[in-house]
Chains A and B, each alone.
Chain A
Amino acid sequence: MPSSQPETKFRGDSQPSDMTRALVTVALAVYLLGLGLSILGNTRSGSSALVRTLQNRLFSPWLVPPWLDLGFDYRLTHGDDLDADYAIEVRRYGDATTSPIRLPGTLTGERAARWRRLARSMAVATDDSDRDGLLAAAIGRSMFDAAGGQDLVVQVIRTPLPLWGGPELEPVQASSARVRMVMGDLQLIRLEPPGEVAPLIKPAEAAR
């Protein structure tokens, strides 16, 4: 212990016993191991099965509840689709005349950022079988009153970032689902983005 300030008044807890020191050391070592595994196990680029298993079984049960099971992989931007501008659009099914509800719309700041994260989560969830459609269904159901109907299309619109010195790029549909209430049951029908629908081939052309 440094003795450069011998006159300084110490608190009661400033001179720990060996037992206290040992317990604090164990607690710190366990926490720091958990921190390291959380960072390794929560990166978007993936991690080994061993790290994931250790993290999930030993550390997640006590690091998740306090919101400490974090990867901190703040890439800020890679300039790719994941960094694009995401927005939610809700409109009545088959109604092309009424303006859709757009979120975040004209909102700004952290409030807008949260709506964008929600929209991006919806788009990314299409690759996750456990989560696909969950948010679209919930958002559709909550919008029945606001949209004025019980048969809606819930879309995520992605506007890609322009390349350096390039023009603004056109928005594209990242995900789309029809959400409707039929006899008290909520139904979700996945709609394919226009670019992913196969072109119609007439039987005569196919036979050639």
Chain B
Amino acid sequence: MTRQPENPTGAIAAVAAVWNQFWFTPADSRPLAIVRIAAAALALAIWWSYAADLQAWFGPAGVLPVDTVQQWRSAFGWSAFDWATTPLSLAILFGATGIVFLLLLVGLGTPLVAPLAAILLASLLHRGPMLAGPADDCLSVLLWCIVVAPAGEHFSVDRWLRDRAGKPAPSLSLRARIAQGLLQVHAAAITVAALLAQLQGEAWWDGLAAWYLAVGPQNRLGGLVPLFERSEYLTNLLTHGITGFQILYAVGLWCGPTQRLVARVALVAWPLVGLLAGEPLWGLLMAVFAVPLAVSSGPPAAQ
């Protein structure tokens, strides 16, 4: 039983203790190395999705000239790709972005490469904000969390080089804990924001959202459509199942006993939701947010 604070000062002290435990308990950086590898692999997939149409979108004769995009995007938006005004310079900058993502994947020069990867992704997205989708947003958040983390300390070329130099791997790190905390906060925030947006639509209340997802233009699970047509109950079940999962995930992340369970369920559930929604990369990225809680031996829960 937790003793209730007896006065306001005690309450503040209790909040401070929870805050300190959540953000300042040193943590293992190995889960963040897995996050780095997964995020970099998905960054390469997203990068590749731009490759075929790069010149058609951003080239000198492309459909999105710099002046048009500058009028479209926020006044605070900025892109290094604005300076790539020739096909060659655009191809070089884009190629360099791919190389940076590849270096992040293998973990070479991670402290330098991680911020570079986040900056280059943001630049690519600001060059054509009307092309960006949920997967791009979540990847950006993940990359910035990796910037905070010592994500190159394990499963990386950096680690291999340090091993050769005889430098031991540190077990626990404060930066690792802060990065894990940020991942946890973002996982919950994104889920709650998405859930609130979904519940503004009638389709999520009358149980037909799964049908609209299945017949959506990006959906590749065409085989589900005849099943849904045959059974409205099945459609309802899947719709309410998605809603229920998101509620359990957003809440369960913050309860010690359920934390690891919901995180492990999320590793499977988010990719399935993404597949059904026609946003498979987004589903995979949402699962990556859950990796530290799913694999670590028990980070502190804010209770």
Contact = CB atoms under 8 A, between A and B. Distances in A.
A111 B72 CA distance: 21
Using C-beta atoms within 8 Å of the partner chain, give the interface range for chain A.
35 or more
B110 to A, nearest CB: 15
Interface in A1-32: 1-2, 5, 8-11, 13-16, 21, 24-25, 28, 32
B130 A111 contact: no
A121 B203 CA distance: 23
Given A25-B23, A79-B208, A65 B137 contact: no
A24 B186 CA distance: 18
A171 to B, nearest CB: 12
Nearest to B53: A111
A70 B141 contact: yes
A8 to B, nearest CB: 5
B62 A43 contact: no
B64 A76 contact: no
A116 B217 contact: yes
A208 interface: no
Interface stretch (B3-11, B86-94, B170-178): B170-178
Interface string B106-146: 00000000000011011001101011111111001100100
Nearest to B140: A67
Contacts of A21: 20, 24
A47 B34 CA distance: 37
A71 to B, nearest CB: 6
Contacts of B119: 66
Contacts of A121: 130
A44 to B, nearest CB: 7
A74 B203 contact: no
A114 interface: yes
A148 interface: no
Nearest to B185: A32
A4 to B, nearest CB: 9
B105 to A, nearest CB: 18
A61 B26 contact: no
Interface stretch (B96-104, B156-164, B254-262, B275-283): B275-283
A162 interface: yes
A78 B170 contact: no
A79 B121 contact: no
Given A11-B173, A67-B122, A74 B282 contact: yes
A28 B134 CA distance: 24
Interface in A27-44: 28, 32, 35-36, 39, 43-44
Contact of A109 (B49, B71, B144, B186): B49
A77 B209 contact: yes
B27 to A, nearest CB: 9
Contacts of B150: 11
A13 B173 contact: yes
A69 B168 CA distance: 39
B131 A70 contact: no
Contacts of B208: 79, 164
Contacts of B172: 5, 8-11, 14
Interface string A83-99: 11110000000000000
A114 B53 contact: yes
Given A2-B25, A11-B173, A114-B131, A74 B122 contact: no
Interface in B224-258: 228-229, 232, 235
B215 A162 contact: yes
B144 A110 contact: no
A28 to B, nearest CB: 6
A68 B278 CA distance: 23
Contacts of B193: 39, 43, 71-74
A67 B121 contact: yes
B54 to A, nearest CB: 11
12 contacts: A1-B20, A9-B172, A64-B76, A70-B141, A72-B193, A77-B216, A79-B203, A112-B218, A114-B131, A143-B63, A161-B212, A165-B229
6 closest A-B pairs by beta carbon, nearest first, are A78-B201, A85-B217, A73-B197, A110-B49, A64-B76, A72-B193
Given A9-B170, A75-B200, 16 more contacts: A2-B21, A13-B173, A15-B26, A35-B185, A61-B76, A66-B140, A67-B136, A69-B76, A75-B201, A76-B279, A112-B217, A115-B53, A142-B65, A143-B63, A164-B228, A165-B229
